Structure formats: structure tokens, C-alpha cells
Structure 1
Amino acid sequence: MPGLDEVIHPAHRLQICAMLAAVESLEFSVVRDALRVSDSVLSKQMKVLQEAGYATVIKMPMNSRTHTWLALTDAGREALAEHLTELRRIAALAEPTTR
């Protein structure tokens, strides 16, 4: 059912989904720095999104380090689109009506 998605709605998860929706994937550190959160906070939020089937976490070795990439799944993109549609509907209620 379309509407607000309780998984996506919390501010950090909504921001993560919005950032990931615009790209194929982003490196963990880029998202962490943009949100100004710790590794553990971002990991916890990503775990919730993963458990809902909305996001994936991919670890790739590069040189001597492992880089972690975050991405939205198709289900995550669809859930975000529905969530944003509902937010826009709610925001429109605040608009003055023209009579």
C-alpha cells in the first residue's frame, strides 16, 4: 500500500536512500561523511535497509584495503518513490488553497 514507509522514514535512512537513489552506488565513507555520522551509526541504518530488502552492501578489495559500497535495490527505489509521493501529498496540504 502506498504511503509513508516506516523503514525509510527516519531522517538518516531517508537521507541515505535519497543519496543512493541518484547513483548506482556510493562508497560507505562518502555517505558517512555527507551525513556526518559515525561508522557504527551508518552501519546500523544500512542494516535496517538491508533487512527490508531496500539496500545492499558490497565489500571490494582495492589495493591493500577493502572498500565498502552501498546501493539501493529495485525494491528500495520503488519504496523511496512511494514514500516521497506521500511526503509531497502531505506537504501539499500546507499549501494555501486558491478560491
Structure 2
Amino acid sequence: MTVDINAPDPTDHPAAGLDEVVHQRVRLCILAIAHEARRVEFGYLRIHLDLTAGNLSKHLSVLETAGLVEIEKGYEGKRARTWITLTTAGSAALAEEIGHLKMLIARVETNTEVQRS
């Protein structure tokens, strides 16, 4: 087996830094919406992400287990409500994911420009 010492390290690629928990489309959307809203109601997420209640619950459970969101159950009047809040760790994970995505986009754009030349 030969090793090319000039070959780029695959762990240096921006895609290697994407977090499976955060990067999944629905969970990334949940984190982004929670970041914008500071506190978001379960029903709002269900409607705007076009998910069933069960599917949304599973995604929220993954995020809560990872410590990225806090889930609060309570009442608004006589109606039961569930609110989702982004944690400090969730905010940091979202920022890190966006940073990796920006690096990935820049790399693709740079390679595309080089290929066109």
C-alpha cells in the first residue's frame, strides 16, 4: 500500500465536521426556528415543517437527548401546550454546523470556478 503524503487529509474536509444529530434536515430546521423564536410551540413546528406529531416528537427527543433543546409542557388557558427552547449547547451546535456548511459552500464554489477556468 502506498500513501500519498501530498494527498489531503479527509478529516480536514468541511463535510467531515457535519454533525449527524444537527445536520438532519428536520432537526436543522427545528434548531434554526428555535434560534429565531427563542421559544417555539410544538404545533407551530408541526405545521410549518409539515410533520406528523409522532415524527416531530421523535426528532425533538433526539435533540433533547443531545442536550440541544429543552422541552416544557404546560397549559395556555385550558389547552395543553409544549414549548421548545434552544439550549446554549444547541445554539453552539447550530453555529458550528452553519460554519461547516459555509466552509463547504466556499470550497465547492472555489472548485467550480477553478474547473471553469
Q: TM-score of the superposition, structure 2-length normalised? A: 0.78
Superposed displacement of residue 32, structure 1: 0.8
Q: Provide the C-alpha distance between the structure 2 equivalents of 1:21 and 1:51, rounded to a whole number of angstroms.
A: 18
Percent of aligned positions that are identical: 38
Instruction: Work out which of the residue numbers 58, 75, 81 in structure 1 matches 2:72.
Output: 58
Superposed displacement of residue 77, structure 1: 0.3
Two-structure CA RMSD over aligned residues (Å): 1.5
Q: Provide the C-alpha distance between the structure 2 equivalents of 1:50 and 1:25, rounded to a whole number of angstroms.
A: 14
Superposed displacement of residue 66, structure 1: 1.0
Note the residue ranges of structure 1 that are not aligned, 5 or more in a row.
none
Displacement over 6 Å in runs of 4+: none
Note the residue ranges of structure 2 that are not aligned, 5 or more in a row.
1-13
Q: Which residue of 1 aligns with 2:83?
A: 69
- In the alignment of these two chains, the number of paired residues is 97
Instruction: Work out which of the residue numbers 6, 11, 21 in structure 1 matches 2:35.
Output: 21
**Structure number with higher helix proportion:** 2
Q: Provide the C-alpha distance between the structure 1 equivalents of 2:69 and 2:58, rounded to a whole number of angstroms.
A: 12
Superposed displacement of residue 91, structure 1: 0.8
Superposed displacement of residue 24, structure 1: 1.3
Q: Which residue of 2 aligns with 1:34?
A: 48
Q: Provide the C-alpha distance between the structure 2 equivalents of 1:43 and 1:15, rounded to a whole number of angstroms.
A: 14
Q: TM-score of the superposition, structure 1-length normalised? A: 0.91
